[in-house]
Structure 1
Amino acid sequence: MDPTGSLNNDAIETIENEEEILDDSEERELVTDSCSTKVLDCREQPRDRYWIVYILFYLFGVSSLVPWNFLITANDYWMYKFRDVNPSNLTMLVRKTQFQAEFTSYLNVATAIPNLIFLVLNSLYGHLVSIKSRLQGSLIVIMLSFLVTTALVQVDTDDWQNGFFIVTIVTVVIMTAASAVFIGGLIGVASKFSKEYMGAVVSGQSLGGIMAAVAQIVSLAFKVSPLHSALVYFIIADVVVATSLLSYLALHRVDFFTHHVLHGSSGVSNRHRDASLTSVMKKIWVYAFSMFSVFAVTMAVYPAVTVLVESHPTTAGTDWNNIFFVPVVNYLIFNCGDYSGRLVAGFLLKPSRAWVSAVASVARVAGVAMLMVCNAQPRRHLPVLFPWDWQYIIIMIVFAFSNGYLTNIIMINSTREVEAHEREKASSVIATMLSVGLTAGAALGMLLVRLL
């Protein structure tokens, strides 16, 4: 045997081994703090004792949309901050200032655009940063940004509403960017587990909306000022994010979690198998379009248009009209409907055909048309065809339920169309298309508000 050839073979083998070590570096970081590093090589699946990982995935789902849920639901607070501080006899006739009428639309855009940009960046370059650093770092940024928002509650901003608006939007952009990185990493991790864990993340996002709505309603029920209720409200959000951060740090000591991150739900490692984006898109492009459609349709009216809907004039002067109508109907009922849809979808998982989901997603445009002719104020062009509260509530329930149901169906079924090693890439594509839908819907929502 040629000794030179032997040396070359040894060198090649050494290089390959070094590359494998580099490829495994991120995954080995995940188990550095694990109770037992045997999960790197063990093929026997550890058990999720007491469903700890499942519960934490629910919590992470809640935290992933904390900026969106808690900021968008604090409508009473924003209406107070952007009120007309120098009313005159002429302006007293105007129900809402320009900031009050359009702030929700701006908030939609401030969340949708950075969410899209950073989801795409996370998909393209996320592998350059370890998953642990991405998830942990993004939670820290979210927590610090929300602490700034909480502190501003107690600051008198009447004399600098324009400046407060700019600071708020910048803070929202930073929080949303961090949330996008967190969501992208979280969904990628969840795709390595069985479908129940992906369902926990998706359902947790909706549950976060319910928590935000209930927290606001409870704070308003005490009939304290919007500032004090918002302070309590935002502190709850701070606690949720801080709890998630601590829980994520503890999660790395759970063998069940680290085993699935390395081997997936099948128990077979796919660490060195590349997933082609082109191949994945060919398999799930219909689901990707469906996810885009679901959120583009929803965001076109919720909450930019729906937050402007007022109770029927017969309830004028009551607490229902003045305090509870928007929090209960626009946020609590919507999020309960959305959450119910996601729960039901987790049991049925039908329709199983991608094209049926796509048709159903587009058909929700009918809900946009109906919500546009509810009692949204102020309005200049369109008539009010559904003035009664019960009409608006029924439309909202159906609209919300279909949003949650289709979201879960698309998210779970899309990962079933690809091979095990392609699931993380497929989940990333679906999450990105969701964000594209959010952005398109937010832009359309700004237009629809002006068409009322």
Structure 2
Amino acid sequence: MTAPPNAFIYANFVLFGTANLILYNAFITACDYYASLFGSTFEYYVAAVLIITNTLGMIYLVYGHHCTDKLALGTSVNCAQDLDTLNVANAVLLAISICIPFVKSAPAVLLLAGACGWFNAIQQSRLNEISSRCHSSHVSALQTGLGLSGVLVGLLRIACKLAFPDAKFLSAVAFFALSALITLLALVAYLMLFKPSEYIRRHTGMPPVDKSFLENDSISYLSDSLLESAVEKSNSDQDAPLVSQTREAASPKSHEDVGFALLWRPIVGVGLNFLVTLTLFPGLTSQLESNEFGLRHGWWPVLLITEFNVGDMLGKWVTSLDRCRPYFPSVARLPLWAIARLIFFPLFLGIAIDWGESADGVMAVLGTLFRSDYFVLAVMLVFSFSNGFLGSVCMVLAPEIAVQQGQDPGAAGICMVFYLMFGLSLGSICGIGLGQLHVERM
């Protein structure tokens, strides 16, 4: 087997990223259906369970890896072993996607949401670990896939709102059916692209795997010497656990070496970036009303959410273009770029305020500006694009920093996901509080 072309691998990483978040987004999008079954506050319970289990899963993976070798969930550098983990996680998420629309029990829904959050953390950490050892374009491809999942669910929500305006159950079935389809495609792609893993081969007696994909210099950060030493040690000690062999042979550094001290700039950048985003979106933005277009019955928030998903995906996608690489912010300026996004707080708060009709002077000008639906769309476009672009740049540059310092890029990828999740969780908590506040009308 020859190494697949980079375009083919890029497309598969986009698919992997899409499958990673599609069920998560489906849960969030279908919250109105569960609110109709279990009460209006139930959507907050679903969101809280998803966030908490996702964060706990990342903490378990990063700090509990010494207890997880037998479960193939540890911080190994063995891509084949990681793919076994991905296949298991994908299979679980596929089963949840198929079953969840027909579950009518609130505790059961929360249990499945918790499983989704937990396995999403496993899947995302492993995908980032593998892509971080590949070319930076594949890290961008994974990020693009994460954005694409939101676009697909958003467009499907619009289609369902048009086709089934009062049939929330059918809409929920459509959301989770799309999730099941994308997850199934990703599961097939894993098996086709990477072939049976070393772990499966050893326990089933299957023939050895052609490692040409992993050894392809154009898509791997791992040096030939490290990879060869890992393979030689694996072949010379068949009785030892595979994860332990490859970790000892090919990973010169641990997560403690690849942490905040080394990656603090991209960590602050990605954490603050998503904290700002999740504080404002979708909590506060979901309460905005159209002043010029006359959109009612919930269409304006749906339009804004769809615009956000598209802008976020485009921001992630452009980071994979070679011609855009010169425009990347330097590593030293990543925190400054994240701090600059704080400007969106006064912008969105100004949009949410009722400026009244009696204002004059500067207040009248500001009121006219903030009441304009075109201004809202422009702010949302910059807000979403900057979120996707800055977040993806941080994820791309972190493994490169690790490589320059002789550290493990895969560990850097997992470390970045951990702090990304931390920013998401903290931002979601702040967003729920901000969304519940009553914005006083001026």
TM-score (norm 1): 0.74
Alpha-carbon distance in 2 for matches of 1:207, 1:65: 9
Which amino acid in structure 2 is aligned with residue 437 of structure 1? G
Query: 2:426 corresponds to which residue?
Result: 440
Which amino acid in structure 1 is aligned with residue 172 of structure 2? A
**1:67, 1:172 within 8 Å by CA — same for their partners in 2?**
no
Aligned length: 370
SS of equivalent residue, structure 2 residue 18: helix
Alpha-carbon distance in 2 for matches of 1:303, 1:217: 16
Cα pair distance change 1:106/1:309, threshold 3 Å: farther
**Residue 259 of structure 2 is aligned to residue 275 of structure 1:** no
SS of equivalent residue, structure 1 residue 312: coil
Identity of aligned residues (%): 20
SS of equivalent residue, structure 1 residue 280: coil
Deviations 1:367-389 (A, max 9, x none): 13322343499xxxxxx963443
Alpha-carbon distance in 2 for matches of 1:142, 1:283: 34
Which amino acid in structure 2 is aligned with residue 302 of structure 1? F
Tell me which of 345, 361, 376 is aligned to 1:392: 376
Which amino acid in structure 2 is aligned with residue 294 of structure 1? N
Cα pair distance change 1:149/1:389, threshold 3 Å: farther
Runs (5+) with no aligned partner, structure 2: 73-80, 196-209, 231-248, 355-365
Query: 1:115 corresponds to which residue?
Result: 54
Q: In the TM superposition, what are the counterparts of 1:1-400 in structure 2 within 5 Å?
A: 46-49=2-5, 51-74=7-30, 76-78=32-34, 80-81=36-37, 99-100=39-40, 103-124=42-63, 125=65, 127-128=69-70, 129=72, 130-152=81-103, 164=106, 166-224=107-165, 225-253=167-195, 255-259=211-215, 264-265=220-221, 267-270=223-226, 271=230, 272=249, 273-281=251-259, 282-312=261-291, 315=294, 320-322=295-297, 324-330=299-305, 332-347=306-321, 348-349=324-325, 350-375=327-352, 386-400=370-384
Q: Which moved more, 1:346-355 or 1:229-238?
A: 346-355
Alpha-carbon distance in 1 for matches of 2:44, 2:371: 23
Alpha-carbon distance in 1 for matches of 2:37, 2:289: 20
The higher radius of gyration belongs to: 1
Alpha-carbon distance in 1 for matches of 2:190, 2:223: 22
User: 1:248: how far off?
Assistant: 1.3
**2:288, 2:300 within 8 Å by CA — same for their partners in 1?**
no
Cα pair distance change 1:325/1:135, threshold 3 Å: same
Alpha-carbon distance in 1 for matches of 2:110, 2:168: 20
Cα pair distance change 1:236/1:277, threshold 3 Å: closer
Runs (5+) with no aligned partner, structure 1: 1-34, 36-45, 83-98, 156-162, 378-383
Cα pair distance change 1:314/1:62, threshold 3 Å: closer
Alpha-carbon distance in 2 for matches of 1:373, 1:81: 35
Alpha-carbon distance in 2 for matches of 1:398, 1:417: 28
Cα pair distance change 1:236/1:256, threshold 3 Å: farther
SS of equivalent residue, structure 2 residue 252: coil
Deviations 1:201-232 (A, max 9, x none): 11110011111111111222224522222222
Query: 1:5 corresponds to which residue?
Result: none
Which amino acid in structure 2 is aligned with residue 328 of structure 1? L
User: 1:258: how far off?
Assistant: 4.0
Q: Which moved more, 1:138-147 or 1:73-82?
A: 73-82
User: 1:394: how far off?
Assistant: 1.8
**1:286, 1:358 within 8 Å by CA — same for their partners in 2?**
yes
Alpha-carbon distance in 2 for matches of 1:269, 1:209: 40
